[in-house]
């Protein structure tokens, strides 16, 4: 396995291991790092975890979003999350790893790999989006008015918002267990922290940062994602010649929970190249 050339560890949050609840498991020489999306934690990979552990060394972690660890200044931009990801990778392996990043973690991974391309062999992005607001040349799922209303709802009544948002994000009313689990995960976040994160994520525009990203990438794009529609996956694949777009039949924004077998089929192809 190729050793990294740069072993720099980025600035860590206080009480680092506790803040990120880092867990290392599995078998194999190659390290897979799982990055969670907004409102979920390291437990949000129930079907993928045993499959990956049987084949690879697996690193799971939480973003530092609990009240005792959240720093509104540090996490007022994606740079703080990027620093954390590089510290997690640097602290858990000295070799090139693969990041499987859902939603926000996919974009954080892109920024981290631009900063330190020698840390990552491959990034698998699940339902990624560099921007959630529609523009004349960019067919996102939301208008600016939609985003403003969403943020107002989170600020006004977080619990009411998450009760309504969870089934939309899951996308399949038949998967009530997934909806209930996602609601529980969202409700575990303190409302002011959730609002700070939501403002950052739903208001970001990383399209100017897409150039210069050269890491081999697989994009897993659900067919029925209301948060990151197919047009976004196609847009990213067009911007990145090194990226392969894999469209899977799945409603909602959490295909690793609602369509895990389809995601594993993509991973079987992607990870055989490791």
What number of other Cβ atoms are within 10 A of residue 114's Cβ? Answer: 16
Q: Return the SS3 of 96.
A: coil
Coil/strand/helix, residue 30: coil
Catalytic residue among 44, 103, 185, 250: 103
Radius of gyration of the chain (CA): 17
Do strands 216-224 and 57-60 pair parallel, antiparallel, or not at all (unpaired)? unpaired
Side by side, the strands of the sheet bearing 31-35 are: 23-26, 57-60, 31-35, 97-102, 120-126, 216-224, 243-251
CB 241 within 8 A of CB 219: no
Q: Is 25 a catalytic residue?
A: no
> Can 103 be counted among the known catalytic residues?
yes
Q: Is 56 a catalytic residue?
A: no
H-type alpha helices, 60-190:
78-92, 104-115, 144-156, 158-170, 176-187
- In the set 84, 185, 225, 256, the catalytic residue is 225
Strand partners, 31: 57, 97
Confirm if 9 and 99 have CB atoms less than 8 A apart: no
**What are residue 126's DSSP bridge partners?**
102, 220
267: left (phi over 0), alpha (psi -120 to 50) or beta: alpha
d(CA 48, CA 256): 7
Distance CA 224, CA 250 (A): 6
Give the catalytic positions in this structure.
103, 225, 253
């Amino acid at each position: 396995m190729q050793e990294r050339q740069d072993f720099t560890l980025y600035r860590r949050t206080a009480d680092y291991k506790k803040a990120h609840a880092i867990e290392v498991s599995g078998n194999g020489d190659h390290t897979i790092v799982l990055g969670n999306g907004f409102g979920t934690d390291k437990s949000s990979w129930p079907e993928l975890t045993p499959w990956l552990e049987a084949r690879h060394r697996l690193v799971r972690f939480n973003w530092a979003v609990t009240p005792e660890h959240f720093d509104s200044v540090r996490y007022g931009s994606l740079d703080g999350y990027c620093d954390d990801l590089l510290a997690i990778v640097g602290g858990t392996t000295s070799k090139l790893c693969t990041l499987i990043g859902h939603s926000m973690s996919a974009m954080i991974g892109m920024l981290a790999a631009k900063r330190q391309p020698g840390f990552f062999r491959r990034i698998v992005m699940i339902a990624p989006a560099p921007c959630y607001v529609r523009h004349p040349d960019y067919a996102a799922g939301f208008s600016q008015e939609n985003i403003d209303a969403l943020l107002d709802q989170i600020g006004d009544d977080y619990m009411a918002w998450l009760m309504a948002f969870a089934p939309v994000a899951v996308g399949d009313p038949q998967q009530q267990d997934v909806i209930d689990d996602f609601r529980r995960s969202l409700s575990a976040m303190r409302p002011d922290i959730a609002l700070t994160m939501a403002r950052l994520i739903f208001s970001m525009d990383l399209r100017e940062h897409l150039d210069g990203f050269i890491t081999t990438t697989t994009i897993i794009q659900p067919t029925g994602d209301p948060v990151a529609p197919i047009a976004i996956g196609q847009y990213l694949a067009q911007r990145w010649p090194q990226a392969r777009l894999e469209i899977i039949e799945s409603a909602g924004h959490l295909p690793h929970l609602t369509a895990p077998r389809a995601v594993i089929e993509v991973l079987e192809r992607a990870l055989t190249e490791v």
